[in-house]
Structure 1
Amino acid sequence: MKIEKLEISGLFLITPRRFGDDRGFFAETWSRRILADAGITTDFVQDNHSLSVKPGTVRGLHFQSPPHAQAKLVRCGRGRLFDVAVDLRRGSPTYGKWAGVELSAENGLQLYIPAGFGHGFVTREPDTEIVYKCSDYYAPECDGGLRWNDPDIAVDWGISEASGISDKDAKAPLLADFDSPFTWEGAA
């Protein structure tokens, strides 16, 4: 398993090693020991699986606030998506900045997103599935989000028009109106 730090502190790109033959492949997608050796000591408690039928479906930018903030380990189970994390940690030198990675069933890449980030994605193929681990259970009272097309964040989703935007995502607040409950602790 290869683990690389991304340009925003706390984000990691993880490339599981695949063992393949004419039947397909096998990959270890999570190892507490290997991730801990890289400094990722998150205890995951919940797995989520989402299907988006149409390409261009945007979901996000979502987060859970403290005391139920979530770190996530995200991968694509089928299809292809562009996954995005936005730094929402007050005091961070990259506050409001985003990083994105193409995740696909074919490339097997994973994105580790610590608590304190907004998370979203856009699908690139029909019937795309996203599978991710969370470090805390779903807590509706802590559920939050920012507008997916906020001009201050300016995510380049790589699409001319989004489809399947939920009312919740379309009406989410802008970064300029957001009082972040997250604080940057200078983590690597």
Structure 2
Amino acid sequence: MAIEEMKVRDAFRITPSQLPDNRGLFFEAWRLGGLIAASGQPFTVRQVNYSVSRRNTLRGIHGTTLPPGQAKLVTCVRGAALDVVVDLRVGSPTFGMFDTTLQEAGSGIGVYLADGLGHAFLALSDDTCMNYLCSEEYVPGTMVDIQALDPDIGIPWNTTGQLIRSDKDTHAPGLSEAAARGLLPTYEQALASYRPAAPAGRRP
């Protein structure tokens, strides 16, 4: 499999190598050793989530306060989605930047997001199912919600119909407002959570 760092620092796109035959195909979605070697970060799965969405459903931008943090490995297991990572870490070299990945169930492509990064996606087909491997159990009151349509972030959703959103996401603050209100994690907090598994020579 190929693991490449995305435009957002500490986010990684995982593209598996598929092995087709007359039965269908097989692929390794990810390996812990390979992910740690690429990211320099620990990753222990403590919770697994699924979301099922109708076409034109927009979920996010969602992040988590630090502590406790919650790194994620997100994969589309049915349907298709435009998956987006946003850097919510105040002081990060890529703060406010985003990167997109087309995730389709047949591709097996996954996206790893370190602590402090935000995640959103637009469902491109009905019955789109996303799988989330999470490094921490969900703690009520620690979720960070940011406006996915914030023009200062400028994500090109290129929607073809009316969006379906939760009330919480619809009324979420923009990135600048959230930063001014002290709702966002800092880059320093994120670095402290990454250091335990960072190999020699890994940049901070």
Instruction: Compute the TM-score of the two structures, normalised by the length of structure 2.
Output: 0.85
For residue 22 of structure 1, report the CA deviation from its aligned partner.
2.7
Partner of 1:49: 50
Change in 2 beyond 3 A, CA 1:162/1:134: farther
SS in 2 for 1:102: strand
SS in 1 for 2:125: coil
Q: How does 1:143-162 map to 2 (within 5 A)?
A: 143-162=143-162
Query: Which deviates more from structure 2 when the two are superposed, residues 158-167 or residues 78-87?
Result: 158-167
**How many aligned residue pairs are there?**
187
For residue 3 of structure 1, report the CA deviation from its aligned partner.
0.6
- Pick from 179, 183, 186: which aligns with 2:186? 183
Partner of 2:29: 29
Q: Which runs of 5+ in 2 are unaligned?
A: 192-202
Partner of 2:138: 138
Q: How does 1:4-19 map to 2 (within 5 A)?
A: 4-19=4-19
Aligned Cα root-mean-square deviation (Å) = 1.7
CA distance in 2, matches of 1:163, 1:150: 15
Q: How does 1:58-77 map to 2 (within 5 A)?
A: 58-77=58-77
CA distance in 2, matches of 1:144, 1:162: 25
Question: Percent identity at matched positions?
Answer: 39
Partner of 2:195: none
Higher helix share: 2
Q: Letter of the 2:90 partner, please give it.
A: R
Higher strand share: 1
- Given that residues 58 and 121 in structure 1 are in contact (C-alpha distance below 8 angstroms), is that contact kept between their aligned partners in structure 2? yes
- Given that residues 89 and 180 in structure 1 are in contact (C-alpha distance below 8 angstroms), is that contact kept between their aligned partners in structure 2? no
Q: Which runs of 5+ in 1 are unaligned?
A: none
